[in-house]
C-alpha cells in the first residue's frame, strides 16, 4: 500500500513492498517505511551464496527489503536487544553478490549509502524488478535508529558479530530515504550529474 505523505514527493510504504508500490516511485522521492526489514552484507552473502549454508528462515517470509548497514546494538542479559544508530554502508561493494541474492531472497528493495552505477541498475536491479534507496547525507544513523521499534531476530550474531549478522528489524516511519534508482533503472545521482555537466560545458 502506498500512502502519500505531506506532498507528492514524499511516500510512505508498508513492507513487504509490492510491484505496484515500486511502480509509483520516482527518483528523488523521499520514502518512509513501516513494517519489517532485514540487514545483510558481505558476511551474510558469503555464508548463503558462497558457502551454501541454508538461510535461517524463508527469506521471502522475513522481508523483501535489505538494508546494507552496521547497527550500533547490544544484547541485554534477558536476550533482548538495544539498537541505537544504524549506519548505512556503501552498497557498490556488494554488487557481485546481488544477482544471486535477488534470485534467492526475492528482495525488491536495497537500502544503502552512495548508490550504485547505472550499469548495476540496468543489469542487476531491473531484471529483479528492484529499486535502490539511499540514506540522506551523513550522520543520519541516529535518526534512522529512531525508526526501529523492535528486533524480531538477530541471526548468526555469535558467529558473524554485530555488524555482519542478519538483523530483522520492525520499523515505523523509518527514513528519510531517497529513491536513487527506479524500476526502469534511472539513477537520481547520474541524472543530476549529467544536467550539471551540461551546464558546466555551456
How far are the Cα atoms of 32, 94, 108, 125 from residue 182, in angstroms, in the given order?
16, 19, 11, 9
Strand 69-75 relative to strand 81-88, pairing: antiparallel
Q: What is the pLDDT of residue 6?
A: 34
Find the mean pLDDT for residues 16-24.
97
Q: What is the DSSP letter of 136?
A: -
What whole-number distance in Å separates Cα of residue 41 and Cα of residue 164? 6
Which of the four pLDDT bands, split at 50, 70 and 90, describes residue 79?
Answer: confident
- Band the pLDDT of 192: cuts 50, 70, 90: low
d(CA 136, CA 175): 9
Alpha-carbon distance of 36 to 165, in angstroms, equals 16
pTM, full prediction: 0.89
Given a cut of 70, whether residue 5 has pLDDT beyond it is: no
pLDDT tens track for 150-181: 999 999 999 999 999 999 999 999 999 999 99
Amino acid at each position: 500500500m502506498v500512502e502519500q505523505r505531506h506532498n507528492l514527493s514524499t511516500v510512505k510504504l508498508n513492507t513487504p513492498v509490492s510491484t505496484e508500490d515500486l511502480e509509483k516511485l520516482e527518483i528523488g522521492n523521499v520514502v518512509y517505511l513501516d513494517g519489517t526489514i532485514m540487514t545483510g552484507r558481505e558476511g551474510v552473502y558469503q555464508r548463503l551464496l558462497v558457502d551454501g549454508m541454508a538461510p535461517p528462515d524463508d527469506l521471502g517470509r522475513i522481508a523483501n527489503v535489505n538494508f546494507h548497514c552496521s547497527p550500533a546494538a547490544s544484547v541485554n542479559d534477558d536476550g533482548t536487544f538495544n539498537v541505537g544508530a544504524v549506519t548505512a554502508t556503501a552498497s557498490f561493494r556488494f554488487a557481485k553478490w546481488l544477482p544471486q541474492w535477488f534470485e534467492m531472497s526475492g528482495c525488491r528493495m536495497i537500502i544503502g549509502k552512495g548508490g550504485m552505477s547505472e550499469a548495476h541498475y540496468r543489469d542487476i536491479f531491473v531484471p529483479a524488478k528492484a529499486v535502490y534507496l539511499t540514506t540522506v547525507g551523513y550522520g543520519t544513523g541516529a535518526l534512522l535508529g529512531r525508526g526501529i521499534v523492535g528486533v524480531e531476530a538477530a541471526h548468526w550474531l555469535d558467529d558473524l558479530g554485530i555488524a555482519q549478522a542478519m538483523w530483522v528489524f520492525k520499523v515505523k516511519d523509518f527514513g528519510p530515504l531517497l529513491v536513487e534508482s527506479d524500476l526502469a533503472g534511472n539513477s537520481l545521482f547520474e541524472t543530476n550529474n549529467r544536467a550539471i555537466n551540461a551546464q558546466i560545458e555551456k
